[in-house]
Amino acid sequence: MAADGISRLCHWGPSIALSIIFALLSSTLYSILIYWRSDDMEGPLNLTILLIDFLLIMYNFLTACLRGPGRVPPRWTPDNEGDTRYLQYCDVCEGYKAPRAHHCSKCQRCCLKMDHHCPWINNCVGHRNHAPFVRFLFHVTIGCSHAFYLQALSLYRTFFVRTHWMYRRLILYGPLAVTANLLCCGLTIGVTLAVGILLVTQLLNIRKNHTEIELWIMRKVKSVKNKNGNSNSFHFPYDLGWKKNCKSVLWTQEGDGIMWETRADCHQYTLTMKQIELKKDKREHTYLYEVVRNYHGSRDYFGICFGCRVACSCPNPDEPRLCVKQGDRVMVTRIYKHWLYGNRVLSHLVENGIGPTVRPRQYSKERGWFPRTCGAPINKRK
Ligand SMILES: [Zn+2]
Ligand SMILES: [Zn+2]
């Protein structure tokens, strides 16, 4: 367990996050000392607030990182065997995905009520660590705003309000310290904005009790509904009203993370059944492509070898790239401007001439984006 925790922290994400936190803390402490006066309470008061916030940031950061979201037990099946028809099966974990659980390709496991995989904590955000993660975002936003105020104030006082007691302290405040102070000022603005936006997004999701993934599913439900001209309304089953939603995510965190309280007009499997329906729709809109030009995947992440138009329309950098070579076949599920996203079809099936009739289990687990010019459509999947 301890070894797992250490390996979680020994990763570029938590290392950079902790380095930024400590750099901003030390720079702000220095700023406080610049105008620390023994005859007023401003210095001690700011120092106390800053240190309390720092402790809360560290506590919530380590809790979110080390506690994790909680995982679906290996080879999990619902109590009622018949309910398995409402659930999706995870080939990697060799078990059914519980309602609201999703498989994380980075953590290589099915996570309970998965929100997203956060590289900064090198873990998924989900059922067990959602509250500490949101508290971490809150305290970082407050702490960085406070740090910016203190650093900007110390710079202002140094250059424009040089009192006798402060002038003596300028010996300590050379060009190097001023440069570091200016850089940290910029960094605090950047961190406050980036983390603040993420905090607002999280709070808006929590208000409706949906995760980032469920938000995407609901958008998909709406788009399919509009495409088919279907007017039937589908309600998100876990939206219990904003007060109850906020309480259940941020405060009580009741339940085992497998079964959830739902609206009166829904049941445990309302959303999982909808997900299965969406997957079916997706399969019906999947195209088989033959690769006509090689693409080196992560070695040419932005597709620069394929021209400016391809590089400028590069899809989400967080999603994988698929290395393809001439003759490969790929089941394409998404098309974005000059890019295609799909799963490679297992090569022995191509050799056997099975082609467009491949079933989902016959795809390779390798999936990702590749430039559209690399593939030529063969047939639309029926
Ligand atoms: Zn899994
Ligand atoms: Zn993950």
Candidate list 90, 93, 110, 118, residue with the active-site label: 118
Residue 357 has pLDDT above 90, yes or no: no
**The tokens of 140 are what?**
């970082």
Give the homologous superfamily in CATH for domain 286-380.
Answer: SH3 Domains (2.30.30.40)
Q: How many other β-carbons are positioned within 10 Å of the β-carbon of residue 267?
A: 13
Lowest mean pLDDT, pick from 175-184, 225-234, 312-321, 334-343: 225-234
Residue 234 has pLDDT above 90, yes or no: no
Arithmetic mean of pLDDT, 38-51 = 84
65 is catalytic: no
Q: Which residues are bridge partners to 344 per DSSP?
A: 330
Arithmetic mean of pLDDT, 362-369 = 77
* C-alpha 210 – ligand 2 centre gap (Å): 18
Ligand nearest to the CA of 118: 2
pLDDT digits (tens, 9 = 90+) for 88-118: 999 889 899 999 999 998 899 999 999 999 9
* C-alpha 124 – ligand 2 centre gap (Å): 4
* C-alpha 102 – ligand 1 centre gap (Å): 7
* C-alpha 314 – ligand 1 centre gap (Å): 28
CA angle 120, 125, 126 (to 5 degrees): 170
Of residues 194 and 222, more confidently modeled: 194
Is the torsion defined by CA of 144, 146, 149, 153 positive or negative? negative
Ligand nearest to the CA of 73: 1
* C-alpha 104 – ligand 1 centre gap (Å): 7
Confidence band, pLDDT 50/70/90 cuts, at residue 37: low
Residues 6 or more apart in contact with residue 235 via CB below 8 angstroms: 263, 265, 266
Ligand nearest to the CA of 114: 2
What are the CA-CA distances from residue 250 to residues 116, 128, 245, 335, 340 (Å)? 17, 10, 8, 37, 39
- Residue type at 193 in one-letter notation: L
Is the torsion defined by CA of 26, 130, 70, 122 positive or negative? negative
- Return the pLDDT at 167: 52
Q: Which residues are bridge partners to 286 per DSSP?
A: none
Residue ranges of the domains in the chain?
2-68+128-208, 286-380
- Residue type at 1 in one-letter notation: M
Query: Could you tell me if 249 and 128 are in contact, meaning their C-beta atoms sit under 8 angstroms apart?
Result: no
Query: Could you tell me if 155 and 178 are in contact, meaning their C-beta atoms sit under 8 angstroms apart?
Result: yes
- Return the pLDDT at 1: 61
Q: Over the range 234-249, which residues count as b (16 or more CB within 10 Å of their CB) and which as e?
A: bebbbbbeeeebeebb
Ligand nearest to the CA of 91: 1
Query: Could you tell me if 83 and 151 are in contact, meaning their C-beta atoms sit under 8 angstroms apart?
Result: no
pLDDT digits (tens, 9 = 90+) for 64-87: 999 999 999 988 999 888 899 999
- Return the pLDDT at 295: 94
* C-alpha 319 – ligand 2 centre gap (Å): 13
The fraction of the chain above a pLDDT of 70, given in percent, is 87
Mean pLDDT of the chain: 85
Confidence band, pLDDT 50/70/90 cuts, at residue 381: very low
* C-alpha 95 – ligand 2 centre gap (Å): 17
Residue 173 has pLDDT above 80, yes or no: no
**What residues have a C-beta under 5 A from ligand 1, the ion?**
90, 92-93, 103, 110
Locate the DSSP E strands across the chain: 89-90, 95-96, 102-104, 109-111, 116-118, 123-125, 287-291, 329-336, 339-345, 363-371, 375-380
Is the torsion defined by CA of 237, 241, 245, 247 positive or negative? negative
Query: Could you tell me if 151 and 184 are in contact, meaning their C-beta atoms sit under 8 angstroms apart?
Result: yes
Of residues 297 and 4, more confidently modeled: 297
Residues 6 or more apart in contact with residue 285 via CB below 8 angstroms: 333
- Return the pLDDT at 213: 93
- Return the pLDDT at 354: 44
Arithmetic mean of pLDDT, 245-269 = 87
